[in-house]
Amino acid sequence: MASPPSTSSTASVNGLRILVPDQSIFKPLAPGYPPFDCTASVIALAIDLLECRPSFSALRSMTNGIARATPDLRHLAENESAIDEKINEYLRLIRGSFPHVVLTVRQGMWDKNGRTNKQSWEGHFEPKTAAVIEINQMVGLILLLCR
């Protein structure tokens, strides 16, 4: 298996944008601001977890199962090197262009830890346009208190 090395730091997730609702717009948080740094650290650690050997093996198993069940992907089934290549590409893409993250308690988020809003996309996978990740702002505050 050729999983990439872990590089856990807030700077290891390129192009990360963390936003908060402000009136009728979203205001970006800046690196160095504690809620940004805390959220970015958790995201970097989550990607590190996906890149570790057990998670990589689980991703391989899930991808193989999906490939066997999907006619357009059957060429990947049981082809470990092709699956590893797709997983490495996915991990590289999410580390290089992570989806926008919104810290909020609005729009039904007051009683949820987080949710993902998936967007429609065709062709080349671009994480920033594929989804928006919402995280309950209070979870972020708890992370700050635990530092």
Does residue 6 surpass a pLDDT of 60? no
Residue 63 included in any domain: yes
pTM for the predicted model, two decimal places: 0.77
Please state, rounded to an integer, the average pLDDT across all residues of the chain.
83
| Interval 92-129: pLDDT, tens | 999 989 999 988 877 776 677 777 778 877 778 888 88
What residues make up the domain containing 92? Answer: 10-145
- The count of structural domains within the chain is 1
Q: Quick one: CA torsion of 33, 36, 42, 47, rounded to 10 degrees?
A: -120
Cβ-Cβ contacts under 8 Å for 75 (sequence gap 6 or more): 67, 82
Residue 4 included in any domain: no
Residue 5 included in any domain: no
Residue 24 β-bridge partners: none
| Interval 76-85: pLDDT, tens | 887 999 999 9
pLDDT score at 15:
81
pLDDT score at 57:
96
Residue 41 included in any domain: yes
What is the spatial distance between Cα 91 and Cα 79, in angstroms, rounded to a whole number? 19
pLDDT score at 144:
63
Does residue 49 surpass a pLDDT of 90? yes
What is the spatial distance between Cα 53 and Cα 50, in angstroms, rounded to a whole number? 8
pLDDT score at 98:
92
Does residue 10 surpass a pLDDT of 60? no
Selected residue with higher pLDDT from 5 and 101: 101
Residue 117 included in any domain: yes
Residue 3 included in any domain: no
Long-range Cβ pairs for the range 113-122 (8 Å, 24+): 113/139, 114/139
